[in-house]
């Protein structure tokens, strides 16, 4: 018996890193998983690994910051696997620039990819969750949403926006048995690379003295995807190595 037997999940940014870890854990717990990513071959590879576990999987190449593409991708995922019980809004990017030097294009891209995508994907799945009176939405924010970071104003603003969206949406959908929550990981060992001097400084700030591993965060996303998560409402979970203790 898996914790997600019979469930259908959509995970964005699931070709690598935390998204891949969450998609694989969900599949290991019995879910069928749609793997959405702009990296098509990466999504295919993860879908293949999920099928090897005996679950169904559907890879979709999509830019989650593009509203029209998101609609098409989620419709295709639903056609292939059925209506989603679980959505993980995980896809994201990280860039670094002091605010005074920041180009508007960098700001706009960050808001589109790390915040507007959450709106687009969530809006596309909600009617299906409401119709079935069941849903679990897990939004991947960051500890920088709380703390901010030098050179990361755009990233921290987008991730703080994700928390505001999470809490507001919880007011709107909780009574339809849709649990909406957020995770704010600390620095993780993934493909999301920041400049080495930034990473070194950050590592020193961490009480645990090292970056986190995907396997130390994915279980939180599993908890929030289960039926037992119903009483968590607009909550934020903080696996962050002590970067900020809240």
189, 21 Cβ separation under 8 angstroms? no
CB atoms within 10 A of CB 211: 17
* Closest approach of ligand NAD to the CB of residue 187, in Å: 4
Please, is 196 exposed, middle or buried when counting C-beta atoms within 10 Å of its C-beta (0-12, 13-18, 19+)? Answer: exposed
Give start and end residues of each alpha helix (H) in the chain: 17-28, 40-52, 67-81, 104-111, 117-132, 144-147, 153-173, 196-205, 218-225
Residue number, 81 or 206, with CB nearest to ligand NAD: 206
Binding interface with ligand NAD (CB under 6 A) = 13, 15-19, 37-39, 42, 62-65, 90-93, 113, 140, 142, 185, 187-188, 190-192
Residue number, 47 or 134, with CB nearest to ligand NAD: 47
23, 50 Cβ separation under 8 angstroms? yes
Using the CB atoms, write b or e for 36-60: b if 16+ within 10 Å: bbbbeebbbbbbebbeeeebbbbbb
Distance of CA 119 to the CA centre of its chain: 12
d(CA 149, CA 230): 33
Residue number, 90 or 220, with CB nearest to ligand NAD: 90
Residue number, 134 or 154, with CB nearest to ligand NAD: 154
Task: State the catalytic residue, choosing from 26, 155, 171, 232.
Answer: 155
* Closest approach of ligand NAD to the CB of residue 29, in Å: 19
Looking at the DSSP bridge assignments, the partners of residue 31 are none
Residue number, 37 or 85, with CB nearest to ligand NAD: 37
Is 171 annotated in the active site?
A: no
Structure tokens of 113?
A: 């990819």
CB atoms within 10 A of CB 172: 12
Catalytic amino acids? 155
């Amino acid at each position: 018996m898996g914790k997600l037997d019979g469930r259908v999940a959509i995970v964005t940014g699931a070709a690598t890193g935390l998204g891949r870890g969450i998609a694989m854990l969900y599949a290991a717990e019995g879910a069928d998983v749609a793997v959405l990513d702009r990296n098509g071959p990466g999504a295919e590879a993860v879908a293949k690994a999920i099928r090897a576990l005996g679950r169904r999987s559907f890879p979709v190449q999509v830019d989650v910051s593009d509203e029209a593409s998101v609609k098409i991708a989620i419709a295709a995922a639903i056609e292939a696997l059925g209506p989603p019980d679980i959505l993980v809004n995980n896809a994201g990017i990280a860039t670094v620039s002091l605010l005074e030097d920041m180009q508007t294009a960098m700001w706009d891209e960050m808001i589109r990819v790390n915040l507007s995508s959450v709106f687009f994907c969530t809006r596309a799945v909600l009617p299906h969750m409401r119709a079935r009176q069941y849903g679990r939405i897990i939004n991947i924010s960051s500890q920088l949403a709380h703390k901010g970071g030098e050179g990361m104003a755009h990233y921290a603003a987008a991730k703080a926006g994700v928390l505001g969206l999470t809490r507001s949406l919880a007011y709107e959908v909780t009574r339809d048995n849709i649990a909406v929550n957020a995770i704010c990981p600390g620095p993780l060992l993934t493909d999301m690379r920041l400049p080495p001097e930034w990473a070194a400084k950050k590592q020193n700030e961490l009480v645990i003295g090292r970056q986190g591993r995907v396997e130390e965060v994915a279980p939180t996303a599993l908890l929030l995807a289960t039926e037992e998560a119903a009483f968590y409402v607009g909550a934020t979970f903080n696996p962050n190595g002590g970067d900020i203790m809240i």
